[in-house]
């Protein structure tokens, strides 16, 4: 589990902000909640205490998870590259030859992927197939519904 994790600049900043919030806001609040619940007396039948302890466990686990990701992360900087091929972090517009529709995806890391936001993982079938291809290339991708063919019509490094 010591492999590097590629992150976009936005994702790296979001993880740092979440870590700050967990350490500065959530952790002190849950400690206060535990103290208040403890003051109510018998801990064996105290639902507030149990809930606060569970929340504390979640917060501490998330802090460790984020610290681990940030320790292994490298931020992919596209600012000095010219947008001539599909790489991690780029935004690519595709023409689906079967449906005759255009779709746009941002190629991101596994943790950032969210199809509702048009962000696909670089390890997904479509993401893997697109990486390395250039403008106007035709790319065939094996997806659960069969073979899809896309034409790359635009590449942006944002």
Report whether 89 contacts 78 (CB < 8 A). Answer: yes
Structural class in CATH, domain 91-156: alpha beta
Share of the chain above pLDDT 70, in %: 97
DSSP-derived secondary structure letter, 124: S
For 70, half-sphere exposure in the C-beta direction (CA atoms, 13 angstrom radius) is 17
Compute the distance between CA of residue 138 and CA of residue 130 in angstroms, rounded to an integer: 9
Compute the distance between CA of residue 36 and CA of residue 17 in angstroms, rounded to an integer: 28
Q: According to the model, what pLDDT value does residue 106 have?
A: 94
Where are the chain's structural domains? 5-75, 91-156
Q: According to the model, what pLDDT value does residue 81 have?
A: 73
Would you say residue 45 has pLDDT above 80? Answer: no
Compute the distance between CA of residue 110 and CA of residue 116 in angstroms, rounded to an integer: 14
92-143 tens-digit pLDDT: 999 998 889 999 999 998 888 999 999 999 999 999 999 999 998 999 998 8
N-term to C-term CA, the chain: 30
Share of the chain above pLDDT 90, in %: 56
64-77 tens-digit pLDDT: 999 999 999 888 87
Determine the average pLDDT of the residues in 40-47: 74
CATH topology of domain 5-75: Helix Hairpins (1.10.287)
Q: Of 82, 85, 158, 62, nearest to 118 (Cα)?
A: 158
């Amino acid at each position: 589990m010591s492999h590097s994790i590629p992150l976009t600049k936005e994702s790296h900043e979001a993880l740092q902000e979440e870590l700050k919030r967990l350490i500065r806001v959530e952790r002190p609040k849950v400690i206060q909640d535990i103290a208040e619940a403890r003051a109510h007396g018998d801990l064996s039948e105290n639902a507030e205490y149990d809930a606060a302890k569970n929340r504390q466990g979640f917060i501490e686990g998330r802090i460790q998870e984020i610290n681990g990701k940030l320790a292994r992360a490298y931020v992919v900087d596209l600012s000095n590259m010219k947008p001539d091929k599909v790489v991690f972090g780029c935004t690519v517009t595709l023409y689906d030859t079967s449906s005759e529709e255009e779709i746009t995806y941002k190629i991101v890391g596994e943790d950032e992927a969210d199809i509702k936001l048009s962000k696909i993982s670089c390890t997904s079938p479509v993401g893997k197939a697109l990486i390395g291809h250039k403008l106007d290339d035709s790319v065939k991708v094996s997806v659960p519904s069969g073979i899809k063919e896309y034409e790359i019509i635009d590449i942006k490094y944002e």
